[in-house]
């Protein structure tokens, strides 16, 4: 008996979800573990440039075409004094870093990170400390970074060798302020008021910025929903986005249930949109608030090792998840979830970029390589630019421990009007066999398959390591055929798939 499952999809040129904001493919670099020190920055490494940035890492970041990178945290930002990281390096203090219980050397600060971002062709999404600090320090930081000159702090930046302002456009008003683990955690009322007043002051310094208010640090937080409603009640007219964070893990080694977790992400996004629209209605506002899913990923492999870590060392290996093939499948589904609501999710950051729960891993003094999750992220970032089409899908389904009616097919299509290309992203959640996939394309005549990429492995626990960096990697080829507007393809067992279509002769 065949173990294959079946799914169909219809896409239509005129049925559109919305335009993909390229910042949907953002990432995140926190002063945590070996993300900065030993990750992007390692003076003395054979590939380090004059400033100490690893060129091998930069090359991999460029492959991902990351449009924006959140910095400097994360939990780190809630105890950070940005002034420690500017000016002459030899005068910068070593501090106890209380979020992750390490020593922060401050050898990289905001100016160096701005330099790195330029080399990586990316923007900076800057966060201010609303944990141990407040309005005044946020005002100072934005004056230092964005004001052209002629004031104390903008001139201080110039004296540090940065004549031109950094002009960071997107700013986060703190990080996960609802979390009891956060330094300076707050109630929704306390944070809402502080975020409102900080937003006013920051926009007074630079009215061109966009601000992100902290939403809940997870769907399962006991304050979820009420937190968003209260915070937005205060900040709705002053901010541009509300944040969402989520991490998943296969702790029970129940892969069908693990792969279904992106359904929870869909639900999370739907709920936060509903709350934003509730506040909009309540305020009779003309403005529609968008979402910044600025932390998302798989995070669980490293939990045990981290719980045994001795405190107060410099850049220890923290949160170093080694990702499997099945993690790449869930990451693929999470990207599809983000695209599915590209009309409202305008920014998102895979957390994080290098070494810390990251698509890129490095050895100190040694190699840099791509983890399994690198590939779905890269494919979405490179090919998923354009307009998301609203798919009508029908798929065989299964029930798992926490989810019912889980479709074996998870898929979305993005139409790039400029290049006249359509890219279909698809995850086959069937762990026993293939997925017979049929897709009708309406309103797209004279199209052909230009590439079929798929990634799978007989062992869903397979990983990439320094010794075997290409153990799990995508391959081009497959049996996808487009005849009379109907695409047929067999998606292999437990696979991530990218099918690229273009106008004939283009």
Identify residues 105-124 at the interface with ligand AHR (CB under 6 A): none
Does residue 316 belong to the site contacting ligand AHR (CB under 6 A)?
Answer: no
**Owner of token pair 């097919």:** 409
Shortest distance in whole angstroms from residue 351 CB to ligand AHR: 4
Shortest distance in whole angstroms from residue 371 CB to ligand AHR: 15
In terms of phi and psi (left: phi > 0; alpha: psi -120 to 50; beta: otherwise), the region of 405 is left
Q: Considering beta carbons, is residue 334 or 439 the nearer one to ligand AHR?
A: 334
Shortest distance in whole angstroms from residue 72 CB to ligand AHR: 10
Query: Which region among 7-15, 72-80, 127-135, 284-292 touches ligand AHR (by CB under 6 A)?
Result: 72-80
Does residue 351 belong to the site contacting ligand AHR (CB under 6 A)?
Answer: yes
Which sign, positive or negative, has the C-alpha torsion 307, 308, 313, 317?
Answer: negative
What's the rounded Cα separation, in Å, for the pair 254 and 284? 46
Shortest distance in whole angstroms from residue 268 CB to ligand AHR: 15
Query: Which region among 71-79, 308-316, 397-405, 470-478 touches ligand AHR (by CB under 6 A)?
Result: 71-79
Does residue 74 belong to the site contacting ligand AHR (CB under 6 A)?
Answer: yes
Shortest distance in whole angstroms from residue 27 CB to ligand AHR: 11
163 burial via Cβ count (<10 Å: 0-12, 13-18, 19+): exposed
| Among 321, 325, 374, residue whose Cα is nearest residue 350 | 374
Shortest distance in whole angstroms from residue 130 CB to ligand AHR: 13
Does residue 321 belong to the site contacting ligand AHR (CB under 6 A)?
Answer: no
Residues linked to residue 302 through DSSP beta bridges, in sequence order: none
CA geometry: angle at 14 spanning 10 and 17, to 5°?
A: 80
Residue number of the CB closest to ligand AHR reads: 74
Query: Which region among 70-78, 135-143, 248-256, 483-491 touches ligand AHR (by CB under 6 A)?
Result: 70-78
Does residue 352 belong to the site contacting ligand AHR (CB under 6 A)?
Answer: yes
Query: Which region among 68-76, 274-282, 307-315, 370-378 touches ligand AHR (by CB under 6 A)?
Result: 68-76
- The phi, psi pair for 498, rounded to 5°, reads -135, 120
| Binding mask of the shown chain, residues 212 to 241, with x at each position contacting ligand AHR by CB under 6 A | -----x------------------------
Among 42, 123, 143, 176, binds ligand AHR (CB under 6 A): 176
Shortest distance in whole angstroms from residue 217 CB to ligand AHR: 6
| Residues marked as catalytic | 176, 295
Does residue 324 belong to the site contacting ligand AHR (CB under 6 A)?
Answer: no
Long-range contacts made by residues 227-233, C-beta under 8 angstroms, separation at least 24?
227/178, 227/188, 228/272, 228/275, 228/276, 229/275, 229/278, 229/279, 230/188, 230/189, 230/192, 231/188, 231/191, 231/192, 231/195, 232/192, 232/275, 232/276, 232/279, 232/289, 233/192, 233/279, 233/282
E-only strand ranges, 187-344:
210-213, 241-248, 290-298
| Among 100, 109, 251, 249, residue whose Cα is nearest residue 175 | 100
CA geometry: angle at 316 spanning 313 and 317, to 5°?
A: 165
- Which stretch of DSSP H or E encloses residue 411? strand 409-416
Does residue 454 belong to the site contacting ligand AHR (CB under 6 A)?
Answer: no
Does residue 506 have a cis peptide bond before it, meaning omega lies within 30 degrees of 0?
no
Q: Considering beta carbons, is residue 30 or 196 the nearer one to ligand AHR?
A: 30
Identify residues 455-494 at the interface with ligand AHR (CB under 6 A): none
Identify residues 22-51 at the interface with ligand AHR (CB under 6 A): 30
Does residue 192 belong to the site contacting ligand AHR (CB under 6 A)?
Answer: no
Does residue 295 belong to the site contacting ligand AHR (CB under 6 A)?
Answer: yes
**DSSP helix/strand/coil, 258:** helix
Shortest distance in whole angstroms from residue 117 CB to ligand AHR: 18
Does residue 175 belong to the site contacting ligand AHR (CB under 6 A)?
Answer: yes
Query: Which region among 69-77, 83-91, 208-216, 442-450 touches ligand AHR (by CB under 6 A)?
Result: 69-77
Q: Considering beta carbons, is residue 129 or 352 the nearer one to ligand AHR?
A: 352
Q: How many residues bind ligand AHR (CB under 6 A)?
A: 10
Among 27, 75, 198, 371, binds ligand AHR (CB under 6 A): 75
Residues near 247 by beta carbon (within 8 Å), at least 6 away in sequence: 218, 295, 296, 297, 298, 299, 300, 351, 357
Query: Tokens standing for 504?
Result: 């004939």
Long-range contacts made by residues 92-96, C-beta under 8 angstroms, separation at least 24?
96/312
Identify residues 375-434 at the interface with ligand AHR (CB under 6 A): none
Long-range contacts made by residues 390-394, C-beta under 8 angstroms, separation at least 24?
390/11, 390/12, 390/15, 390/16, 390/17, 391/9, 391/10, 391/11, 392/9, 392/10, 392/11, 392/15, 393/7, 393/8, 393/9, 393/10, 394/7, 394/8, 394/9
Does residue 243 belong to the site contacting ligand AHR (CB under 6 A)?
Answer: no
Q: Considering beta carbons, is residue 20 or 29 the nearer one to ligand AHR?
A: 29
- Contact positions vs ligand AHR (CB under 6 A): 30, 73-75, 175-176, 217, 295, 351-352
């Amino acid at each position: 008996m065949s173990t294959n499952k079946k799914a169909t999809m219809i896409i239509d040129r005129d049925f559109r979800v919305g335009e993909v904001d390229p910042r949907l493919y953002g990432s995140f670099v926190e002063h945590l573990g070996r993300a900065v020190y030993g990750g992007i920055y390692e003076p003395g490494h054979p590939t380090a440039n004059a400033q100490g940035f690893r060129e091998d890492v930069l090359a991999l970041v460029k492959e991902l075409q990351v449009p924006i990178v959140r910095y400097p945290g994360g939990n780190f930002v809630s105890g950070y004094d940005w002034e420690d990281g500017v000016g002459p390096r030899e005068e910068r203090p070593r501090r106890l870093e209380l979020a992750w219980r390490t020593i922060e050397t401050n050898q990289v600060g905001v100016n160096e990170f701005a330099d790195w971002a330029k080399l990586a062709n990316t923007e900076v999404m800057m966060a201010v400390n609303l944990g141990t600090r407040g309005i005044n320090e946020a005002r100072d930081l934005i004056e230092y970074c964005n004001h052209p000159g002629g004031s104390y702090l903008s001139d201080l930046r110039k004296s540090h060798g940065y004549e031109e302002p950094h002009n960071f456009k997107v700013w986060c008003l703190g990080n996960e302020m609802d979390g009891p683990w956060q330094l300076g955690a707050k109630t929704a009322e306390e944070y809402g008021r502080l975020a409102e007043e900080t937003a006013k002051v920051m926009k007074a310094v630079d009215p061109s910025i966009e601000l992100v208010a902290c939403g809940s640090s997870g769907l399962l937080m006991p304050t979820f929903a009420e937190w968003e409603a209260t915070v937005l009640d205060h900040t709705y007219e002053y901010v541009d986005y509300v944040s969402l964070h989520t991490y998943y893990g296969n702790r029970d080694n129940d892969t069908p249930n693990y792969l279904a977790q992106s359904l929870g992400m869909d639900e999370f996004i739907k709920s936060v949109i509903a709350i934003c629209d509730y506040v909009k209605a309540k305020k009779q506002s003309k403005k529609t608030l968008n979402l910044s899913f600025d932390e998302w990923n798989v995070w669980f492999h490293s939990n045990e090792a981290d719980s045994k870590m001795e405190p107060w060392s410099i850049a220890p290996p923290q949160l170093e998840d080694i990702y499997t093939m099945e993690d790449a499948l869930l990451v693929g589904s999470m990207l599809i979830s983000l695209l599915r609501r590209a009309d409202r999710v305008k920014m998102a950051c895979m957390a994080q970029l290098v070494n810390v729960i990251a698509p890129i891993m490095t050895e100190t003094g040694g190699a840099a390589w791509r983890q399994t999750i690198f590939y779905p992220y890269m494919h979405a970032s490179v090919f998923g630019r354009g307009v998301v089409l609203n798919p009508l899908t029908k798929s065989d389904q299964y029930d798992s421990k926490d989810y019912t009616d889980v479709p074996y097919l998870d898929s979305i299509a993005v139409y790039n009007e400029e290049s006249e290309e359509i890219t279909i992203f698809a995850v086959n959640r069937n762990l026993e066999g293939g997925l017979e996939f049929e897709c009708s394309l309406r309103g797209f005549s004279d199209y052909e398959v230009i590439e079929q990429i798929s990634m799978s492995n007989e062992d869903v626990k397979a990983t990439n390591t320094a010794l075997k960096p290409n153990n799990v990697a995508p391959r081009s080829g497959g049996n996808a055929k487009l005849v009379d507007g109907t695409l047929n393809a067999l998606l292999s067992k437990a696979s991530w798939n990218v099918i690229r279509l273009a106008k004939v002769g283009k």
